[in-house]
Structure 1
Amino acid sequence: MSLSPAVRIYQDNLDAVSKALMEGDLREMMRHIAIPNMMSTHDTEIVMSSPEELDMVMSDFRTQLTGRGVETYTRTCLEADFVAGRDDMIAGRHRTETKGTNGVAVSPYLNHMVLMRIDGSWMGIWIQAILANTELEILSPDIAAAQAEARRLLDTIRR
């Protein structure tokens, strides 16, 4: 059975970013992730507005993974389709699995992601991991805390 174009594009993005993450290759990651970029979990969200922030977040996440013994980081598209009325945007859902020398290193979890075609390339613009950031620090706690404080201050100024 052949994959739909949307599923193929989504899976290609997952594979490229996963490989770049595990290799610590920011340049390759930047070919597949747009800036600004929003990432969220059940309890945290951040907006990465520069390549430096993306590098910091991904380095922190990679450190979390390797610290838990992760050797293989695999993300598999479960479903993806073009957003209605848009041939430049794909929304989908995928499963993240990890393996280490002793088997599963981190419990599998689900994610939602949106890709957008920008200058001819499909790039991730938003991803949500369906778990709490406290379970697996996907998002850098320092950046998340600073951005949450900035939002809180802005909200108090607006009142």
Structure 2
Amino acid sequence: MSAAFANDGALDRAASIYQDHLDCVSDLLFVGNIEECINYFALPLLIRTRTGETLIETRQDMLNDTRQHSESLNGHGVTNYIRLVKQARQLSETLIEGWHETYVLRDATSILPSYQSHMFLRDTGDGVWKVIEAEHELENLRFPLGSVKSKPGSFAETWQGTQGDIRVAHSNAEPLYRAFLDVLNKHQNAANFDGWSSQFQYPLEAHYDATDRVFNEPADMRAFFDAMLDLPIGEKGGVHRAITSADFISADRICGYHETTFEGSDAPAFGPVKSRMILTLTEGRWKCSSVTNSLSSDDAPPEAEFKPSSHLPTMSEIQKRMNKP
């Protein structure tokens, strides 16, 4: 345990757990034990900086990013990588919110101005507390370390407010995501465009196997909706969305995965199509603010005639091809 916790009686349980997590991950990063280090992070993981955010979805992406971080520390001759808890609070038995400050030193010289971070940790049930969301007072998360710029105060206004967190009452996002999919199915099977399109938040980002577009208003989605109605479903068929998984990636967002199949009277008419939706809680309602489908086409939407694809691009892949920060 860190020397900062020699007098453990002066610290509450949340701060102790949070600091223990920081110390463990820092030590593993420093010695380059990447495989063990990433076990302390949940997937999907939302990371936010001053200039944007990244959703890490796969273990391989987590390995790559963490390895870059570790190699950068050693490559710049860092002798002290210190992260100290500033404040932490227990939101529930399985959820802790905390803030900490990071110091990156080579002997007594600061390589990077200190910066603060805000993280949520969840007890996964096996005694391991994992990061489920993080934001850092940084310009970006690019490596090597010399490219990283700290921006103290970036989230000062956001961090001042005390916000309710739906994850206190709902530890499992799957029932909410499943209920959302059921509503989509109901409206789609009833050919109710208004009801179906009202489940989305505009402008809506839509991504496919290799293309991307933005729907600015419901009318922009009409051609896509009509194309689904034109599939040879038959009287006894219909659209079916089967949930794969869903997780909270912030207090007001869910990242969910499912497969969509258009069932014919006797056999599947189209699909399955792998999908990922980001749901955002807007004025008390969950709406889809981003959707990705494993569909490919030789043409650009909306004129495209889509075909199922085996590839569902990750949000990291999409950011790179769209040249987002």
TM-score of the aligned structures, taking structure 1 as reference length: 0.79
- Mean alpha-carbon deviation: is it higher for 61-70 or for 124-133? 61-70
Query: Which of 35, 47, 63 is 2:43 aligned to?
Result: 35
Q: 1:87 — aligned with what?
A: 93
> Once structures 1 and 2 are overlaid, which stretch shifts more, 46-55 or 129-138?
129-138
Partner of 1:105, secondary structure, is strand
- The size of the alignment, in residue pairs, is 145
Q: CA deviation at 1:59?
A: 1.6
Give the corresponding residue for 1:96: 102
| Identical pairs, percent | 26
| Aligned with 1:158 (options 195, 201, 215) | 215
* 2:38/2:66 contact within 8 Å kept: no
Partner of 1:136: 148
Structure 1 residue ranges, 4+ long, deviating more than 4 angstroms after superposition: none
Query: Structure 1 pair 44/69, CA: closer, same or farther in 2 (3 Å)?
Result: farther
Does the residue aligned with 2:84 lie in a helix, a strand or coil?
A: strand
Contact 2:32 2:71 in 1 (8 A): no
- Structure 1 or 2, whichever has the larger Rg, is 2
Q: Which runs of 5+ in 1 are unaligned?
A: 139-150
Superposed, which structure 2 residues align to 1:118-137 within 5 Å?
118-120=124-126, 121-133=128-140, 136=148
Within 1, Cα distance between the matches of 2:85 and 2:34?
Answer: 23
Distance 2:64 2:51 in 1: 19
Aligned partners of 2:104 and 2:214: how far apart in 1?
A: 43
Distance 1:136 1:111 in 2: 14
- Relative CO higher for 1 or 2, CA cutoff 8 Å, sep ≥ 6? 1
Pick closer, same or farther for the CA change 1:92–1:73 going to 2, 3 Å: same
Change (3 A) 1:69 1:19: same
Q: CA deviation at 1:2?
A: 2.2
Q: Distance in 1 between matches of 2:32 and 2:111?
A: 19
Decide whether the 8 Å contact of 2:138 with 2:149 is kept in 1. Answer: no
Which residue is equivalent to 1:114?
Answer: 120
CA-to-aligned-CA distance 1:38-71 (integer Å, 9 cap, x gap): 2121113211112211111112222333343322
Taking the aligned partners of 1:52 and 1:44, their CA distance within structure 2 comes to 21
Structure 2 residue ranges without an equivalent (≥5): 1-8, 151-203, 217-325
- Amino acid across the alignment from 2:17: I
Give the structure with the higher percent helix.
1
Q: How far is 1:82 from its partner?
A: 1.2
Q: Deviations over 1:9-46 (max 9, x none)?
A: 00011111111112221222133211221212111321
Q: Is the 8 A contact 1:68 1:106 kept in 2?
A: no
Distance 1:80 1:74 in 2: 17
